[in-house]
Amino acid sequence: MFDASTAILSTHAIRYGRDAWLVEFAEEAGDESFAIAAMLREQLEKHPPPHLSEFCFAYTRVLLEFASEQCPTQAPEFFSMEQRPHAARKRIIEVCYDGEDLQRVAQHCHLTVDEVIAVHSSARYRVHFLGFAPGFPYLSGLPARLNTPRLDSPRTRIAAGSVGIGGAQTGIYPLPTAGGWNIIGRMQDPLFDPSAPLAECTLLRAGDELEFRAVTSFSR
């Protein structure tokens, strides 16, 4: 199934409870970890190890969970495959930049509000994985100029669709939750629809490329 030139990918595996392995495939989050994750995802989908019940990616680690008492004693191995140029799905999300912490972010970053909007909406982001809550995208690509510390005291309720900045990260809250990020705007379409079929329940998917487009009002 793999040609002779494929090599075993160097990973570090940690046993995680009775039924899982946690495999570290990169040391830090970045373009390289993003590319390796895409490669591993393809291998897991095409050739899942026996008794694998589910897998779940984060930036640098993938969780492999097995059926009850079926976890292999050795962690599964992955192959280092030639990187095919992969066509990422491109997603453009309209954002109304009217968040309550926009001024705070501007002050912290020594920018005007318009500059914050321009910088945030001209960058290109990547969806590394979904997690924490349904449809919540872990993104990379926030320009370092916009890094803003989390709020000292998290808000108890943040509306679904709120776009925020927390430290070096930016993201969108899919569901109304408590949260400590600086809210700079909001989007209209839901990130997660529990009534949709599984393949369509999240607006974004791991591997997507994402841009935010500033709008003053939503078109519908």
Partner 1 sequence: MSAPPFSSRALFRVIHAGAMTSLQDRGRPGLKACGIPCGGAMDLNSINRLNQMFDQESDLACWEMLWASLQAECLGDCVIAYAGDAQGYVNECAVAAERTITMRCGDRLRFQARGQSLWTYLGVGGGWHGPQWFGSQSVWPDGGMGRLLRDGDILSAAGAPAWQLPEGVSARFLRAENSMRNSHFRVFKGPQWLAFPEAARESFFQSPWRISEQSNRAGFRLEGPALSVPEKQWISEPIVVGSIQVPANGQPIVLLNDGPTVGGYAKIAVLHPDDLNRFRQFPPGCLITFSLLS
User: Which residues, 6+ apart, have CB-to-CB distance to 172 below 8 Å?
Assistant: 93, 136, 137, 161, 162, 163, 164, 187, 191
Residue of 9, 38, 63, 111 that binds partner 1 (CB under 8 A): 63
**Residue from 91, 98, 111, 131 in contact with partner 1 (CB under 8 A):** 131
Shortest Cβ distance from residue 176 to partner 1 (Å)? 8
Residue 45 CB partners (closer than 8 Å, separation 6+): none
Q: Bridge-partner residues for 170, per DSSP?
A: 165
Residue 198 lies near partner 1 (rule: CB under 8 A) = yes
Minimal distance, residue 61 CB to partner 1, in Å: 5
Quote the least distance from Cβ 207 to partner 1, whole Å: 12
Q: Tokens 């494929």 map to which residue?
A: 6
Q: Nearest-CA neighbor of 78 among 139, 168, 16, 6?
A: 6
Between 138 and 177, how does the x/- string for binding to partner 1 read (CB under 8 A)?
A: x-----------------------------------xx-x
Site string for partner 1, 3-22 (x = CB under 8 A): -----------xxxxxxx-x
| C-beta separation of 105 from 59 below 8 A | no
What one-character DSSP code corresponds to residue 142? -
Query: Does 132 contact partner 1 by CB under 8 A?
Result: yes
Q: Name which position in 40, 62, 127, 210 contacts partner 1 (CB under 8 A).
A: 62
CA dist 22 → 29, 57, 73, 77 (Å): 16, 10, 13, 12
Q: Which residues bind partner 1 (CB under 8 A)?
A: 14-20, 22, 28-29, 53-63, 65, 68, 129-136, 138, 174-175, 177, 192, 194-195, 198, 201-202, 206
